[in-house]
A and B are shown apart, each in its own frame.
Chain A
Amino acid sequence: MSSITLTDVTKSYGSVQVIQKFSSVFKDREFVTLLGPSGCGKTTMLRMIAGFEKPTTGEIKIDDTTVSSGGKFIPPNRRGIGMVFQSYAVWPHMNVFENVAYPLKIQRVPRAEIKQRVADILEAVHLSQYIERMPNELSGGQQQRVALGRALVCSPRVLLLDEPLSNLDAKLRESMRFEIKDVQKRFGITVVYVTHDQTEAMAMSDRVIVFNKGAVQQMDSPMNIYRSPANQFVADFVGKINFIHGVASGGRIEFPGGQGMAYSGEKRGPVVVAVRPENMTMRTDKGILRGTLSQAYYLGDTNDCRVDMDGIALRVIAAGHTYGQIDVGSPLWLDFDEYLVFDDDGVDQTKILS
């Protein structure tokens, strides 16, 4: 039963505005991910919800309580929020039990109850056997669980996670993803998750908010973010994509090399056709575009190829078993049915700037 309501929130440091006007409601039990390159403002947004930063303008509410607006400001320690930091922030001078028990101690929970609740939480994050260990005797993944346990032990209304998996190795990261999702469902909490890893965002979120340069680019379900990105930045940042510049005129898009494709949309003039590599198929009989296979890499599950189309390199990802069916250097046809067309204003919108 916790929602977070942000209304017209902005943040500036001096004359530099790092967050453009932002409004949204994070619903109860929703898993919201703030996704974007480093320096895009996502962490600042999270820290404003936590209360470590004060919005320059705007209002933040948790449920019906206004935690930050104009003159009113509730400090982080009175917001009843759990948070996991990127660096874990596990206190090096306290053991696992003391770290996790700390929020309960602050609340003056009776000793016996602390013991029970810490034990339960450690069970949930699979740390029961490490209860006496000092942080320097734990691996990164274990420290991360301690941080998670400490954030959850008070049954917070809201859990904030600031790139919690970025310091872990790939395998662990993948399994932790499911654990965090599992914990969120079990405890029924609202989660705001900050990451620059689009796969993490896709895997866990109910809703993804893509940020760049302090401004929201798109706010939608993972599937919509992926399949109908709002602009070239989102298309490029989430997943892999090929951009082919061309000119649209009645019924066709012409590419510089002389080829073209049928187009029934409304756009006219310079456009960018965006196609995901896995949505392209290579074939030897007729397709949409002609090209030459210039590179092919066998990656087991996929066959990762580069196709040269009149001097433009296009990436094509096909199923692993197709490797070797077409020789490198051979001509081929490309076919695709799912693609997007953006207006080309001459500016490279995929550039990541902060």
Chain B
Amino acid sequence: MKGAGSVPVQASLQDNKGFHLDVKAMLIAAIVAFLLVFNVFPMAYLVFRSFFGENGFTLETFKRIYTYPLNWNALRNTLVTAGLSMVFGVMIAFPLAWLVGRTDMYGRKFFRTLFVMTYMVPPYVGAMAWLRLLNPRVGTLNVFLANLFGLSGNPFNIYSIGGLVWVLTTFYYPYAFITISRAMEKMDPSLEEASKISGASPLKTVMTVTFPIMLPSIVAAGLLVFVSAASCYGIPSIIGAPGQIDTVTTRIIDYVYVGSAEGLTDATTLAVSLMIIANLVLYVSTFICGKKQYITVSGKSTRPNIVELGKWRLPVTLMVSAFALIVVVIPFATVAMTSFTTNLGKPLTAANFTTRYWRILFTRKGILDTVKNSLISASVAATAGIVISCVMAWLLTRTRAKGRHIPDFLITVGSGTPSVVIALALIMTMSGRFGINIYNTLTIMIVAYMVKYLLMGMRTVVSAMSQIHPSLEEAALISGAEWQRGFRDVTLPLIAPSVVAGWFLIFMPSFYELTMSTLLYSTDTKTIGYELFTYQTYHSQQTASAIATGILGMVVIVNWILNRLTRGEFSI
């Protein structure tokens, strides 16, 4: 009966005032309409186009595409690299999330911030860094290791499947880390205590209680890594191209760049293959999980109990530090150093030091324009996205409106769709053929970013809302406040840190987005992500590094500011 009581009266208020337009139904309809136009319809059209040529249903294009061994290779490479990144990413993220969230390891807060911040930097920056570190001939780390162990040759070659997996893993595990830690922090600690009191050791408890309960979140996290890695363009393009390793994404973009109608059809067909794979993974993982919903994971916020590591406390901290050093500090330091280096062939010494590229960053109009474009499109996407997220959070946690799970489902599917597929679908449908022409505008970017990144924002706000007991709002109502006033005085201040965090989770990936921008940009709407990629690939690695370091600096500063503003409550 308590549960049944958590439905608010807003709807009844509307009834009372005599107008019967149901606000909830209207909101749902508006969000669904947006998603239908910009998400469902484009995808459906993409699938349609791949199967229907001018003379009706045909599998011709599929046949043509897969007669090229190159495409088969690309498909295999995508599956192998994304699959391995998913496995390794989760294998890294789960213990890290547990150590950071649930143990007394030293510097937990610091490490948490560090790993989360990795989410906020462009993954292709990792490719730039590792390229410098593990270049088979002159890679800094390669040379260092060869000298250290007296090897005849350099131990690593970044231009390989292994190299690709390494970079994909080290830059996509934060997606899994965020998803898993959020669930872990909400888990009812008494479940683990019950295991311990039954005589299980801490490790046994993790394996028999924590892990199984977390399984749905772990699967969701793995999926996120898989789809992100499979649809990544920057990393396979920067690392794969020199090693002649193609992935489906790079092939699709190559086809689009061919520009012909046939090229576009081929791209479509490949994209549909990618989409089918992503959906298959989604389906299989939901099937394995059996739609398990553990009540204990969501719901009221409980203070997680802290596992004491005892004699392992220092060694574990050292291990995590070493991991952070290799995966976060060294790559970022490399990129930062590159931006100050005149001659890339030589080490960074006083003679080889320059601020030229930083001056370029702050003065060249081309770069500044792309920064402006990215700022505008990412801000609009984040703001519109967070508004939808808040509405969805309200609908999902405070109402029992019929159909409220439809937009929730569509948003999830949108996020699970590879970026390159989204972009291609938007190009096919939004360039005037169906009455909407937003091609070559910032709007199409904004739409693409929203379809792709809405989920992260929504999940953040929903989880914050679900932790606010409805009676807090009811208490405002009974105190005489109209529900709008109650929302402003009670709900909003309590979810504000999460709203800000959610905004940022949409803003950051949109800001540096590369894959979709590569397909959607026009001369006037180039984004910083694309500009950076162009510099890295064609012009000047140093300028690219300066841009990347700039983004890095921005992430650190904004993080710090938000932390101060929300008195340390800002967390992702």
Contact = CB atoms under 8 A, between A and B. Distances in A.
Interface of A: 13, 18, 38-41, 43-44, 47, 50-54, 72-83, 85-87, 89-93, 102-103, 106-107, 147, 150-151, 154, 354
Nearest to A98: B489
A82 B478 contact: yes
Interface of B: 1-2, 4-5, 7-9, 12-13, 15-16, 469, 471-472, 474-483, 485-486, 489-490, 493-494
B479 A106 contact: yes
A190 to B, nearest CB: 15
B474 A73 contact: no
Nearest to A13: B4
Nearest to B492: A93
A103 B472 CA distance: 13
Given A85-B474, A89-B471, A93-B493, A77 B1 contact: no
Q: Is the interface of B mostly helix, strand, loop or mixed?
A: helix
Given A85-B475, A102-B476, A103-B480, A38 B1 contact: yes
Contacts of B4: 13, 18, 44
B469 A76 contact: no
Nearest to A80: B480
Contacts of B489: 102
Contacts of A38: 1
B214 to A, nearest CB: 27
Contacts of A92: 494
B475 A91 contact: yes
A219 B2 CA distance: 23
Contacts of B478: 50, 76-77, 79, 81-83, 151
A51 B13 CA distance: 10
A40 B472 CA distance: 24
Given A50-B474, A75-B12, A106-B485, 18 more contacts: A51-B9, A52-B477, A73-B16, A75-B9, A77-B480, A77-B483, A79-B478, A83-B474, A85-B475, A86-B471, A89-B474, A90-B475, A91-B476, A92-B494, A102-B489, A103-B480, A106-B481, A151-B478
A295 to B, nearest CB: 30
Nearest to B16: A73
B471 A76 contact: no
Contacts of B483: 75, 77
Contacts of A90: 475
6 contacts: A40-B1, A51-B9, A52-B474, A75-B477, A106-B485, A354-B1
A268 B321 CA distance: 84
B397 to A, nearest CB: 16
A311 to B, nearest CB: 38
A113 to B, nearest CB: 16
Contacts of A74: 16
Contacts of A106: 479-481, 485
Contacts of A91: 472, 475-476, 490, 494
B477 A76 contact: yes
B1 A18 contact: yes
B480 A154 contact: yes
B12 A73 contact: yes
B469 A44 contact: no
A47 B12 CA distance: 14
Nearest to A18: B1
A44 B493 CA distance: 29
Contact of B12 (A54, A86, A102, A354): A54
Nearest to B300: A87
A13 B3 CA distance: 12
Contacts of B480: 77-78, 80, 103, 106-107, 154
A75 B16 contact: yes
B474 A76 contact: yes
B447 to A, nearest CB: 36
Given A89-B471, A91-B490, A77 B5 contact: no
Contact of A103 (B2, B15, B474, B479): B479
A80 B480 CA distance: 7
The 7 A-B residue pairs with the shortest CB-CB distance, nearest first, are A103-B479, A89-B475, A89-B471, A106-B480, A85-B471, A83-B478, A76-B477
Contacts of A18: 1, 4
Nearest to A41: B1
Contact of B469 (A43, A53, A78, A89): A89
Nearest to B15: A73
Contacts of B477: 51-52, 75-77
A22 to B, nearest CB: 15
B475 A43 contact: no
B187 to A, nearest CB: 21
Contacts of A87: 469, 471
A75 B5 contact: no
A78 to B, nearest CB: 8
Given A52-B9, A89-B469, A91-B490, A77 B16 contact: no
Contacts of A44: 1, 4-5
A89 B479 CA distance: 12
